[in-house]
Chains A and B, each alone.
Chain A
């Protein structure tokens, strides 16, 4: 008798195999199956910190090495996310529960995090440290008496970086550059535009104040006018006597002062041709900085946040002078950055200790000592000045400008949506395709609709 041939694939073997595979997969995915990374210690807790500045991240690593040496039970890891994606990614990660234990926020984006109870309050555990933080930063992030972040960086005010060789070639002295005034519409009393015209040269070597200048064929530009909120247009608006938002957060830039300030900037770009075409700068916030570093722009207006980039990237002699004065003097935007505790962090005790460290002079000094940024912890600021005096650079102008009258930094729960709403109109305005009056009116309406949701 022939024995029955076994079926090659019986239900029992198939079901058994599937269960076996499932069990194997489950075992492979289980936490117990995860391999411990080299260097991990079973008792050590890990706190993660997210930020957007590469230079400060390097300083943070020095700071956290010292912290872990003093607190061996806590390791601190940093996560660097480029500024362009920072708030989009942070919001998505907070929602998904993947956000870091600590993260940087600025005045423009912090409000919805406060409103939705996503941040740890900087409460009584920090009372002893609070007097050591610069007061404008504490005020900027305090709501109804509660502080929501530990101040880390302060931008001071805005100033102008200049290229010494290009100034000399145009016969402009730094002293002359340091004492300029802009007047709405240009004309009598305006000393800023004539100097920028002298500094602007076309590809054939004709200066913008000479006959035959061809603005379509640029050689070097005099000035860095662009759609740059912090570096450029907030300061012109402030020095014209205008405001971007009122006390309730509504946008109010469509004003006579706003038309003066934006009209002047648009003319610098499109009429006088002393700045790059907005086609280059509207979508590239680094264009003017990069052109300055390549010796293609004589005067680059920006903040202390670009000091290290300029120092590291410029292979020419450079200096810093104050921004031009407007009808209301020199008015600049002052912004501060805080590090916030994630309310959903599992190890609140470790997070608090790291926050306390970052708010201490010891923790914040590496930021200043590396020259990366001006710390918002008062006792850490001398390290910053020492670093730059060692480099023969005097950054005190930024701090001095920060003590002058300032224009409020942008804020609001739906600030991001408002920015998205007004930017297309600003794009067209800076390109010179939409008249300033129309652009400001439409942009303001769109921004207010967006911020009100």
Chain B
């Protein structure tokens, strides 16, 4: 009796059969996708459309919205306020991102060495990140207070940390870094733990020192983590609001901390301004900026990141 040789490749279904099967499975696929699609439409697409419509209206929440065409766009894009807020935001991002990423990486490397007390510090670093940002802002406002503030009492000075145009932005950036660095550290720790031990052993056998191992093995393999941390960090920094609003509710001295997210809130709701149309324009501009920045980051990292740890 002849036993047929097993086929090396599975039988390829005919195109007609595939189409019929796809047709038959489509309802199931739609049912499975429906909750996610409903969420995307209700909480992402629809709000964007509503904000786009609002940007063409004048609305103070009390009177019905009035269609004003591109007036809000012209106002926002020609007045200096928006440009100033974008500039302050870029400065804020430039202060926050390199520092929190570098510090997070450094702390992750130190914690991954298993030194005594590492477990304790892992928890301590994450505490600011899980605390309510507005509550932290209130605490930091007291720390920075020129009279009776903890920082000035400690330093024996009377520095106006939050009312000096030169110091206000670095001060709020420092609070932001302090609150976010634990989150960054967590991701780098996970990334370091995922690096296969045999790679590090091979490097050691080849005579690589600690610095070479870090620079040539660990850092390249942390590429996906770095990419993730940078993308989410940049987005979060562009949208930073809570701490900044709690520390400097009016945009800071001479607008020094008037970041775009706080400006959107102040124009929409702050102190009864209720200029929803203007705020909507700025929100859409911020959205566009974030899309562009994220795409650029993705392109930059696409050729530099490896996901293959084998």
Contacts and interface: CB of A to CB of B under 8 A. Distances in A.
A95 interface: yes
Contacts of B34: 18
Contacts of B253: 427-428, 431
Interface string B27-58: 11001101000000000000000000000000
Contacts of B145: 280
B62 A14 contact: no
B221 interface: no
B261 to A, nearest CB: 16
A406 to B, nearest CB: 24
Number of chain A interface residues as a range? 35 or more
A217 B60 CA distance: 46
A183 interface: no
Nearest to B269: A88
A283 B249 contact: yes
A98 interface: no
Contact of A279 (B63, B160, B271): B160
Given A113-B62, A431-B163, A415 B272 contact: yes
A216 B147 CA distance: 10
Residue among A14, A216, A283, A431 having the largest count of chain B Cβ atoms under 10 Å: A283
Interface in A54-102: 87-88, 91-92, 94-95
B273 A95 contact: no
A87 B7 CA distance: 76
A414 B61 CA distance: 12
B272 A87 contact: yes
A416 B146 contact: no
Contact of A91 (B62, B248, B250, B275): B62
B201 to A, nearest CB: 44
A427 B160 CA distance: 14
B156 to A, nearest CB: 11
A121 B17 CA distance: 73
B270 A420 contact: yes
Q: Give the interface centre of B28, B147, B269 by most chain A CB atoms within 10 Å.
A: B147
Interface residues of B, number: 31
B207 to A, nearest CB: 55
A134 to B, nearest CB: 27
Contact of B275 (A95, A109, A417): A417
A427 B147 contact: no
Contacts of B62: 91, 94-95, 112-113, 115-116, 118
Contacts of B271: 88, 416-417, 419-420, 423
Nearest to A450: B273
Nearest to B271: A420
A37 interface: no
A23 B273 CA distance: 43
Nearest to A280: B147
A276 interface: yes
A182 B115 CA distance: 67
B108 to A, nearest CB: 37
A88 B253 CA distance: 23
A15 interface: yes
Given A11-B28, A18-B31, A88 B250 contact: no
A416 B129 CA distance: 34
B163 A417 contact: no
Contacts of A431: 163, 253
A279 B250 contact: no
Given A94-B61, A95-B61, A416 B250 contact: no
B274 A416 contact: yes
Top 8 closest A-B pairs, CB basis? A416-B272, A279-B163, A420-B271, A95-B61, A417-B273, A279-B160, A279-B146, A116-B62
Interface of A: 11, 14-15, 18, 87-88, 91-92, 94-95, 109, 112-113, 115-116, 118, 216-218, 276-280, 282-283, 414-417, 419-420, 423-424, 427-428, 431, 450
Interface of B: 27-28, 31-32, 34, 60-63, 145-147, 158, 160, 162-163, 248-251, 253-255, 266, 269-275
Given A91-B269, A416-B272, A416-B274, 12 more contacts: A11-B28, A14-B32, A15-B27, A18-B31, A91-B62, A94-B62, A112-B60, A115-B63, A216-B158, A279-B162, A280-B145, A420-B266
